[in-house]
Amino acid sequence: MQDAISRATGLLTATEIDKRFGANRVLRSVSLTLAPGEVHTLMGENGAGKSTLFRILAGIHQPDAGQINLDGTLLELRNPCAAYDQGIYLVPQEPALLKELSVAENMFLGMLPTRGRFPARIDWKTIRTKAQDALSTLGLDVDVRDDAKHLSIAQQQLVECAKALLRGCRIILFDEPTSPLTSREVGILFGNMRRLREQGCTLGFISHRMDEVTEISDRVSVLRDGAVTDEVDRDGFDRARLVRAMVGRELIFDRKRAHRTPKGEPVLSVRGLAHEPVFSGVDFDVRPGEILGFSGLIGAGRTEIAEAVCGLRTKSAGTVTLSGKDITAASIGDIIAAGLVYVPEDRARHGVILPMSIRDNATAGQIGRLQRKSGILNRKREVEIATDTLARYGVRARGIDQPVGQLSGGNQQKVVFGKWMSTNPKIAILDEPTRGVDVGAKDEIYKLIEELSAKGMAIIVISSELEELIALCDRVIAIYGGKIAAELHGTDITAARVGAAFLGAGTH
Amino acid sequence: MSTTIAATPEPNQRAKSRQRRELREVTLLVATFVVIFGVGLLRPSFMSFSNLEFMVLSSVVLGLVGISQTFVIMTRGIDLSVSAVLGLSAMVFGLLSTTSNMPVWQALPLCMVMGAVLGCFNGVLVAWAKIPPIIATLGTYSLYGGLTFIYSNGLQVDQVSQDFANFGNANLVPGLPVPTPVIALLIVSILAWFVLNHMKFGRTILAIGNNASAAYNAGISVRRTLLGVYTISGALAAFSGLIFVAYTGSATATTGTGDHVELQSIAVALIGGTAIAGGRGNLAGTVIGSVFLSVVITALVFLQVPAIWYSAGEGAMILIAVTLGARHGAKS
């Protein structure tokens, strides 16, 4: 560690970094400076590019353009090891400790000291002593001989931190470390971050929680759509300004749902739904023809709540009623038959079978109904349904035999819709319906959703995109930390208010 | 330090997991003795010295292959070709011992080199061509097994040279009734234990089995390690083939593959407590497991269970071992 101090002061600059993943441009000419002795925080919506930027600085990804300098020297970080050699360490969002190995061995992974020439034996004694010392410096009281699988997430993060110090790293980047932690654990982490800062380390930090950000940061950079939109010093912190920088983009669509208040008995009623510690006390109703939005950050519990409602996930308390019928303990098949469908976020994993044709996918949800008495499938009917799906949902494809994997994201999503809507549900929960869909197709999907709602279907849209919620929803529920933090109606649904609500900054 | 994160919820978890590991060895030993005494009561000749010696000896070949299989499984891989390499080695060197009078001291290094080359090919397929280990080694299983047929060309080993027979049966230490193969297994076991626990190579194997991408990120050369593991596996399989032919004096084109040594070696590794998902291995368990399996198979013979049941019985044992292993893994 002593060497490292003389080696570098730790002024890390990234200049005009560009990064694409496939067709998706994640970072657009981003510049960032991390100075020694400061905690520099990145804020931004999901998908704004924060993690990617840190991963580039830590050598996990390589930028397509731009350069990284450390104390004025140009760095080429081909892999994480190259970054360690330059004193840069990323504490990942999910600590990647090797579960079956001891804590001590994890800390020395890839650099196990040996003694003796031949055979060179591993010096377990040194490893244990040094590992134990490094952990006690961070205030972590665990036996380093214990298997890493016995550690909590908070402990694993501190072990990662100790790994950085053992490698002589003076620039430590924390990728959203606090989201799985309790407030007490956050306190301990911050205590350690402060001490490292006093020792002149350069610290990077990612968080969504406004309170934490204002507590620990010396400087905040806000990313939006892969570009830095604002950079604020400690004395310039202002929640409103940060929220605006995060979410205040020009809306691509000038859409706003006409204000309506659907009437009629709720088609879906959820009361006291809970599964500690993921979510608790969730109450809401949806009426026929209503479009209800679920906003919130990834990890806030939106998807988990939806899955619990649909019987895909266990719940510890609460009731779910569909059209007056209690479906809390019903099987997934019964729930679908009762008229509730859930269209998941990850199309490729749960929604469509990519190598299969549009025909096979469109009819997969009702294959039982296509059987003749003899047990042989009714091909003619199959073709009719698939052709109907193409026409009704405006799927652009060469024909019904084209594999779904060859379609664009938007057209894939339309096939998914067609598949689920062919079961004539009363209510549909759509999780991130336009993720990975281009702008034009988004608009078409919005129209589809509106048509379905006009026919009386109740719809819940889970979305991280503010403009999507604004464009579509009659009502928006903001989920924060597994609880309903706010409910907004009609004209109250504005970017600023929804954004503030799901960042946990309060609505008023 | 005023604020510390408390130790693990259960402070004696480490002790527990270690206990469980030791428990596995004790359980296996107890089970082995129970079978020996149980069958011995019914068939007293089962407990005769010559039969006990036979059972230990017949577990040697399996133990050696089991150790190499344990290393492969620890990387989250599998090597189905071990039985084919074993058979090829037994055939090639069994024939050479009589046809060209090859002495053991020449055959020993040669067979290891042959096995290493064959194993190295497996390693290239797995680490460079990125073929899943089960497919790659299933292919080479068939390939190497086929080479044995081509090489033997209808011949089989009926007897080996005196030199080989001595190597296979002699008691190296005067006065101690411990034949060479048992000593070979002991030496290989100790070497394997040392490599696994006290050398970088062994720790690297475990790191890769736990999480290959994390290991790569830490600067570990995943491909070279895999190549090394499969190479050693081939060399050890060939070595055990030589031991087999020297000890039994016979080999056919289906030696190894016919007895499903590849499945048996996987079985003893799993019975011994090695995790099929990689990252955790138990060498002592593998060795005891091979003695256990050998005792059980011999017991079936003594109990006059029809031979047509053996294969099914072995398969059932493997499935039980994997199922118990999976549950064990879920609990820890």
Q: Give the DSSP letter string of A194-219.
A: HHHHHTT-EEEEE---HHHHHHH-SE
Find chain A residues with C-beta within 8 A of B7's C-beta: 141-143
> Which residues contact residue A78 at a Cβ distance below 8 angstroms, ignoring those fewer than 6 apart?
A59, A62
Q: List the one residue out of B200, B219, B4, B191 whose CA is nearest residue A105.
A: B200
Q: Are A138 and A9 in the same domain?
A: no
Do the domain assignments include residue A7?
Answer: yes
pLDDT tens digits, one per residue of A428-457: 999 888 876 666 677 788 888 888 888 889
Q: Are A6 and A19 in the same domain?
A: yes
Where chain B has pLDDT below 70, the residues are: 1-22, 172-173, 322, 325-332
Q: Which of A97, A119, A140 lies at the smallest CB-CB distance from B5? A: A140
B231 — alpha (psi -120 to 50), left (phi > 0) or beta?
A: alpha
Q: Are A377 and A431 in the same domain?
A: no
Task: Say if CB B126 and CB B135 are below 8 A apart.
Answer: no
**Domain tally for chain A?**
4
Q: Are A320 and A435 in the same domain?
A: yes
Q: Are A466 and A482 in the same domain?
A: yes
Q: Are A125 and A272 in the same domain?
A: no
| Spatial separation of the C-alpha atoms in residues A164 and A52, rounded to whole Å | 19
**H or E segment and range at residue A228:** strand A227-233
Do the domain assignments include residue A160?
Answer: no
* Number of neighbours of residue A442 by Cβ within 10 angstroms: 22
| A340-343 and A268-275 strand pairing | unpaired
How many Å is the maximal CA-CA distance in chain A? 82
pLDDT tens digits, one per residue of B174-202: 777 778 899 999 999 999 999 999 999 99
Cβ contact (<8 Å) for A146 and B203? no
**Nearest-by-CA chain B residue for A125:** B198
Q: Are A136 and A21 in the same domain?
A: no
Do the domain assignments include residue A157?
Answer: no
* pLDDT value of residue A254: 57
SS3 A258: coil
Q: Are A332 and A355 in the same domain?
A: no
| Spatial separation of the C-alpha atoms in residues A234 and A246, rounded to whole Å | 17
| Spatial separation of the C-alpha atoms in residues A165 and B85, rounded to whole Å | 47
* pLDDT value of residue A261: 74
Residue A206's identity, in one-letter code, is I
Last residue of a domain, one of A150, A185, A215: A150
Shortest Cα distance from A375 to chain B (angstroms)? Answer: 35
pLDDT tens digits, one per residue of A388-429: 888 888 787 788 888 887 777 778 888 888 888 877 889 999
| Spatial separation of the C-alpha atoms in residues A156 and A142, rounded to whole Å | 11
Where chain A has pLDDT below 70, the residues are: 1-8, 22-24, 46-47, 247-259, 298, 346-351, 365, 368, 436-440, 504-508
Both tokens of residue A333?
A: 């098949």
* pLDDT value of residue A23: 63
- ipTM for the predicted complex: 0.85
Task: Say if CB B240 and CB B87 are below 8 A apart.
Answer: no
| Spatial separation of the C-alpha atoms in residues A157 and A175, rounded to whole Å | 10
| Spatial separation of the C-alpha atoms in residues B288 and A105, rounded to whole Å | 27
- Domain containing A355 equals 350-423
Cβ contact (<8 Å) for B210 and A101? yes
Do the domain assignments include residue A36?
Answer: yes
* pLDDT value of residue B7: 43
Last residue of a domain, one of A406, A423, A440: A423
Q: Are A418 and A429 in the same domain?
A: no
Q: Are A419 and A429 in the same domain?
A: no
Q: Are A136 and A173 in the same domain?
A: no
| Spatial separation of the C-alpha atoms in residues B141 and B263, rounded to whole Å | 12
Domain edges within chain B: 56-331
Cβ contact (<8 Å) for B210 and A84? no
Q: Is A174 exposed, middle or buried (0-12, 13-18, 19+ CB in 10 A)?
A: buried
Mutation site for A-interface testing, chosen from B1, B3, B5, B21 by largest number of A Cβ within 10 Å: B5
Task: Say if CB A441 and CB A468 are below 8 A apart.
Answer: no
Last residue of a domain, one of A384, A401, A423: A423
Whether B21 contacts chain A with CB within 8 A: no
> Which residues contact residue A379 at a Cβ distance below 8 angstroms, ignoring those fewer than 6 apart?
none
Q: Are A315 and A429 in the same domain?
A: yes
CATH of the domain at A451: 3.40.50.300
The single residue listed with the structure tokens 């893994």 is B329
Both tokens of residue B152?
A: 């033997």
Q: Alpha carbon of A408 to those of A241, A403, A441, B267: distances in Å?
A: 37, 11, 9, 47
| Spatial separation of the C-alpha atoms in residues B255 and B84, rounded to whole Å | 8
* DSSP state letters, A163-202: HHHHTT--EEEESS-STTS-HHHHHHHHHHHHHHHHTT-E
